[in-house]
Chains A and B, each alone.
Chain A
Amino acid sequence: DAGVIQSPRHEVTEMGQEVTLRCKPISGHDYLFWYRQTMMRGLELLIYFNNNVPIDDSGMPEDRFSAKMPNASFSTLKIQPSEPRDSAVYFCASSLDRAPYEQYFGPGTRLTVT
Chain B
Amino acid sequence: GQQVMQIPQYQHVQEGEDFTTYCNSSTTLSNIQWYKQRPGGHPVFLIQLVKSGEVKKQKRLTFQFGEAKKNSSLHITATQTTDVGTYFCAGPDSGTYKYIFGTGTRLKVLA
Contact = CB atoms under 8 A, between A and B. Distances in A.
Interface of A: 31, 35, 42-45, 48, 50, 55-56, 91, 93, 95, 97, 99-108
Report whether over half of chain A's contact residues are helix, strand or loop; otherwise say mixed.
Answer: strand
B48 A99 contact: yes
Contacts of A100: 31, 33, 45, 47-48
Given A42-B104, A100-B48, A101-B48, A91 B42 contact: yes
A42 to B, nearest CB: 5
Interface of B: 31, 33, 35, 41-45, 47-48, 50, 88, 92, 96-104
A91 B43 contact: yes
Contact of A104 (B45, B47, B97, B99): B45
B42 A42 contact: no
Contacts of B43: 43, 91, 93, 103, 105
A43 B103 CA distance: 8
